[in-house]
Structure 1
Amino acid sequence: MTSSTSSQEQISEQTQISNTPTEKTASLALSDAIKIENDITSAEPSSSVPDTVIKVEKDAIDPEIKLERTPDQIEEEKKKILRQVEYYFSDMNLPKDRFLNEVRSKNPEGWIPLKMICKFKKMQVYKDYNLIVETLRGSPNLLEVDEKGEHVRRKTPVMIDIPQHIKDTTIWRSIYVKGFNKEEIDSNYEKEVASFFSQFSKVEKSFARKKDDGTYKDSFFVEFVSHEEAKRVSEMDLTYKDAKLNMMMKFDYCEMKCIEKGLDPNTMRLQKSTVKKEKRPYKKSPSGCLLHFEGAGPNSTYSTIRTQMHNDFGEVKFVQYDPQTLSGVIQFVQPIAHKVIESPSFENLRFDNVQPKLRVLKDDEEKEYYRKKKSDKLERIKQEHSPSEDSPTVSGVKRKSNEANSPELPEEVRPKSPKLEPVE
């Protein structure tokens, strides 16, 4: 096992170089890189940082170190520090950095020991701890440092990519529009709103939003033909009957409502697809393609039988051959089994200089052949994809079903099947 410093460096630095998750499990890296003792043992824990914060060893960095540099050198160093640490916490790196995510998971508020960050390879060149703290406090949007300057975390949550099944629904090409006079809204009003927006792009549908008691709100959802058209219209400055309209993409509106409800900001993105996959049409096994044989020569093989039948009669899809009984089944691509029996060449057919007995499989025998062939194939696939009992698991933890952990939307923005329609 590598030393504490090298384990941290390899995991986070390799992530930066390759933009791929490290191959070393986070649990091993964590136990190898992080120590329980903190160099500030006399101070009480900060109220903003729970006792569960992971602490690092004492000699990580000296907060009292003083370096002589010009103001220009200091500013240049601050830029490099900020750029490097913001990269560690960026949307590009953090979701794939198993080590940092393991550390974050140990603290309910997502704090990471700053001295641990300072031990990463590309951060070891910066020796002025106070300058590092000062620099990270100045991060405009991404980072924040606790009151004692001991821990750092992201200000904003890590957002996952929007899945394709959401982009395939109407929510992705619809906009939320607010600013209508709800006293005027009725069934005809929906047509008027659709007609109004048709001036700017083709409208598929518009509908007024209602409260639980059935009364109208002052907002609409308007669906367009594409996401691009909906986005373009949502960015316009429009008024309707002298009232200014506030518009945003419907998906953005739903995410905003999730955050207001105190849900995970990724709640909408984590929703499972409600569109059922189209079942593949049942393909009936062809009839008249199977020819049973027995009494082949002792040196006959699968390959020689297939080649001979292919050359003499037609394309062969599969040969099932048992060398113990010298018998088997020949499956042709086309239903030509009867033609083979009736062919003049049939009398001269030999497998290793022995004339076999052949007959066409029909009815129940034919069905049983296809059934068993399909069953054997499924069993092979099952064995190939089933992990052995000794197979290791990531971080020693078995994977849990994603469905069991899938968050449930509040009634306000819960999608209706098969569309992701929020209903407030």
Structure 2
Amino acid sequence: MAEGDARAAKVLRLAEWYFGDINYPNDQWLKEKIEESGGMIDISHIIKFGRMAPLDVSVEEFYEICKDSEVLSFSSDHQKVKRKNAAPEKPAINDEAALYFKGLPSTLTLDDLEEFFATIAPFKMIQMRRLADRTFKGSCYVQFADKEAAEKILADKPKYKDTELFISTKADHVAEDTAKRASKRKAPKAMTSAELEYKAKTVLIVDGIPADADVSREDISAEFKKFGELAFVAFSRGKTNAEVRFAETGMAEKALPEVNGKLVLGGATVTARTLEEEEEKEYFAKIQSRATEKGSRGRKNFRARRE
């Protein structure tokens, strides 16, 4: 594929991803921007998005590349864009059409993976699996067009260049991975009294995490440590929201502008909010109460063992 054709293909792929059935339902910033603008958004915003900006595409060029898209619809002056059809309420996740691939070079980027899988079959989404330091693990989940397409790929066993890949259904791998995690799971460390003391503007409520994304509590911690020391992160796989509590007063308020509508988790741009004073005090009262109950149960169990 010529360089210009590859660039155009990437522009179209990204545009259809932003407005597609998987990303759009969870992209609160994009949906709110479209609502504020009367149902459409200026293309000038889209071409500045993180992965689109390096392609240096103009508004006019974006329109020419995407005008025949089955996903996008444009204004008569070609300056604005929206989804062609109504969006589903929830991301169109289809695990029956998803496969797990392992054995890919850890140096690959998402762009590299998209170029590779585009040569195999049309796909809906790629979820890169990462280590705690955010480096690529060499494995990923890929959702293809439908179950039949996934079954054919599973049977064909495509290679990455000359490298054989381990391929299984996503469901099989998730079940195996869950069992491994359960066997290694340890009881969480009890929080100290200092960690339980009320501190204003330390809690962020994060929403819009894709329920099917390969996002762990450790991944969220790694992202939010950039903004300050953390006291605790409450999150479970499959949930769409998380509670992030900073160690120092005011840190949540400082982090909010850098997170809300900007931070990407699991392929979606998340939203975030701080708690109002009364709401935050209730939050701390609840965790203090839970800690007291756990401590009481622990002392009773200890006395029972001694008796």
TM-score range, shorter chain: 0.3 to 0.5
- Higher helix fraction (1 or 2): 2
Identify which of structures 1 and 2 has the higher relative contact order when contacts are C-alpha pairs closer than 8 Å and 6+ apart: 2
- Higher strand fraction (1 or 2): 2
TM-score with structure 1 setting the length: 0.24
Structure with bigger gyration radius: 1
